[in-house]
Amino acid sequence: MQHHTIAILDDDHVIRLARYALSRPPEVSDEWVKSYFSPEPSNPSDIYAAGRGLHESDGISVTPVGATLDEIRQSNPSVIIFRRGVVNAELLAACPHLKLVQRIGGLTEGIDIEAARHRGIHVSCMPRMTLIYTAEHAIMMMLALAKQLVRADTQIRSGQWHRDLVIPTDSVAYNWTGYSGLSGLYGKTLGIIGLGEVGSIMAGIANGFGMKVVYFNRTQLSAYREQALGVIYAERDKLLAQSDYVSVNASNLPANRGMFNMDMFKTMKPTAFFVNTSRGKLVNEDDLYTAVTNGLIAGAGLDVHWEEPREAGDILYNLPNVIMTPHFAGGTRFGVLDELKAIFDNCRSVLSGGLPTHAK
């Protein structure tokens, strides 16, 4: 039996699930797996089975969490799996038996593609459907806010409209709920704070709607990348001041806790909408409530929340121009497992002499 090592470079909930499926490490328990998928029922044995053919009994070992470059070099991996970080020429040179660099995600940034090609190493960047769904969800929320969708649906179902003011013509009663300020996305400006993978996907969808897309990042993209994505860089406050829709997609770092606060809401246009499908702790919800109720912004769409689940009677519940979903923009949790299964299929293929999907 030929022995292979899989080096996993970074650590987050997706990577932890991958580690569990490959090696059931002690730091990832069955209870963590059940909690991760809850309230959807899950069987940890089924998760582990997703890594079939890549277990220790198959001659595969997995590098430990936080392995250094020297430790990775000593392990002589055949496969590198990662989400974020850098796989540069130095790392590639340190792994002479490397066959596959596998990113969990579609972006190629941080990978020295040319150095990998020179060494005959396959590179695959696997698009994540959960991230595509998240970007779609954010756009959906923008449309729902522009069209006052939730409020309109509620009023139609409950029959709450001025019947004496509605005079149908040929059985047509246009806008019988009498809403004003209805709009859409075409010709509007979308401001994206944090243009990572979700933000990049969102920019492509927004361009399809005929929107102007501006973005703010800690590091500005190259001119080539900006042109490819159809985006324009703007400093944060300039982005906020010109955008009709603002989507926050920043990293969930301690430094970003409560980053969207009253100062930022005050900088937005009173006709603008705010959308968060990233992490709830990025937004000061008391300030959001004040901003919406005082007309500093037109409304908000939240898929993620400061506390999850939200408590009954929450201050945002009675605001008709705030729409909320229960942190499911990316779809079911089992979508992450489907993504990992595709990653493992690539590993099995390359280790048996085949080719990966989504090769670069």
Report angle CA 193, 199, 203 to the nearest 5 degrees: 105
Residue 218 appears among annotated catalytic residues? no
Catalytic residue among 119, 310, 327, 358: 327
State yes or no: is 308 an active-site residue.
yes
Three-state SS at 357: coil
What is the per-residue pLDDT for 1? 57
Residue type, 9: L
Which pLDDT score is estimated for 297? 98
Q: Give me the pLDDT at residue 208, please.
A: 98
Report, in angstroms and rounded to the nearest whole number, the Rg of the chain calculated over CA atoms: 24
Output the CA torsion 121→127→130→133 (10° steps): 170
Which of 4, 279, 285, 339 is labelled catalytic? 279
Q: pLDDT tens digits for 251-283?
A: 888 889 999 999 999 999 999 999 999 999 999
Please choose, from the candidates 55, 6, 39, 21, the residue with its C-alpha nearest in 3D space to the C-alpha of residue 336: 21
Q: What is the reported pTM?
A: 0.93
| Angle at 51 (CA atoms; ends 21, 122), nearest 5 degrees | 110
pLDDT (tens digit, 9 = 90+) per residue, 224-246? 999 999 999 999 999 999 999 99
Q: Does residue 279 carry a catalytic annotation? A: yes
Going along the chain from its start, the domains and CATH numbers come out as 4-126+333-351 (3.40.50.720), 131-324 (3.40.50.720)
Residue ranges for the chain with pLDDT beneath 50:
none
